[in-house]
Amino acid sequence: MEVTINRPAVRNALDPSAHRRLAGIFDAFAADDRLRVAIITGSGDRAFCVGSDLKARLASGGDRMPATGFAGLCERFDLEKPVIAAINGDCIGGGLEIVLACDLALTVPHARFGLPEPRVGLVAAGGLHRLARSLPAKLAMEIALTGQLFDAAKAQGHGLVNAVVPAGADVLQDARKLAAQIVECAPLATKATKQMIARGLEAPSLAAAFAGDYPAYREMLQSNDAVEGSRAFLEKRRPNWTGR
């Protein structure tokens, strides 16, 4: 599934209506077993998303977020399908929070990143919690407290994106190739993998992570696909996944 934030006149900033629409889209993605991977990108080449539409925010008295958070994604803690960010331009404020909520991210080289909310009298809210879980504490503090922007090379160096595509390359096409690699894997295996990583990181210790309960892992072990994968390997053919 591909999702494009299509508000280029405001650099793909989100208003309350956009938040609600995105929440509905990701609800549908989560519920449809035919959809394996989501890619989210922005319209145009200037911006992926620059956060909240401040004019709309002032007019409405606030962002009025859906229960699943900014862009209908950032507080969606039970989504067990991969989401890829194809960053086509500036990724600022809530835009960076979207990327932090994604599992994988690719970016164009001219994109800028940051959480500049303090410079307009605000705080990055949920973006702070995700940033602090993605970076060493002092680096997260520097980014959050100064509000300074940084380039794509630094974003990759910080581990916030997986790769910077070459200048002139189509980041969406590269994201599609990455999604295709994921789709080659068994659906229940990718679900279990994401669940185990997410829940394992929440465990208080490595030992607790090993001892944790992962329903998707148990489901995968008992699946027809687990048998099919081994059989296909031995028969030197491509597996036929059924998601069961």
Domain locations in the chain?
Answer: 2-182, 186-234
- Residue 97: active-site member: yes
- Residue 219: active-site member: no
Q: What is the pLDDT of residue 58?
A: 66
Question: What share of the chain in percent tops pLDDT 90?
Answer: 91
Q: What is the pLDDT of residue 65?
A: 85
State the catalytic residue, choosing from 75, 80, 117, 202. 117
Residue 154 has pLDDT above 70, yes or no: yes
Task: Check if 2-182 and 186-234 are the same fold.
Answer: no
Residue 41 has pLDDT above 90, yes or no: yes
Q: What is the CATH number of domain 2-182?
A: 3.90.226.10
| Mean pLDDT of the 4-12 span | 96
State the catalytic residue, choosing from 2, 75, 97, 184. 97
In order, the DSSP letters of the chain are -EEEE--GGGTT-B-HHHHHHHHHHHHHHHH-TT---EEEEESSSSEEE-SB-HHHHHHHTS----TT-GGGTTT-TT--S-EEEEE-SEEETHHHHHHHHSSEEEE-TT-EEE--GGGGT---THHHHHHHHHS-HHHHHHHHHH---EEHHHHHHTTSSSEEPPTT--HHHHHHHHHHHHHTS-HHHHHHHHHHHHHHHHSSSHHHHHH---HHHHHHHTSHHHHHHHHHHHTTS-------
Instruction: List C-alpha distances in Å: 25 to 2, 35, 98, 182.
Output: 10, 12, 15, 21
| pLDDT tens readout for residues 119-128 | 989 999 899 9
| pLDDT tens readout for residues 45-104 | 999 999 988 787 666 666 678 999 999 999 999 999 999 999 999 999 999 999 999 999
Second CATH level (architecture) for the domain 186-234: Orthogonal Bundle (1.10)
Residue 113 has pLDDT above 90, yes or no: yes
Q: What is the pLDDT of residue 61?
A: 62
Average pLDDT of the residues of the chain: 94
Q: What is the pLDDT of residue 60?
A: 65
Residue 156 has pLDDT above 90, yes or no: yes
| Mean pLDDT of the 143-165 span | 97
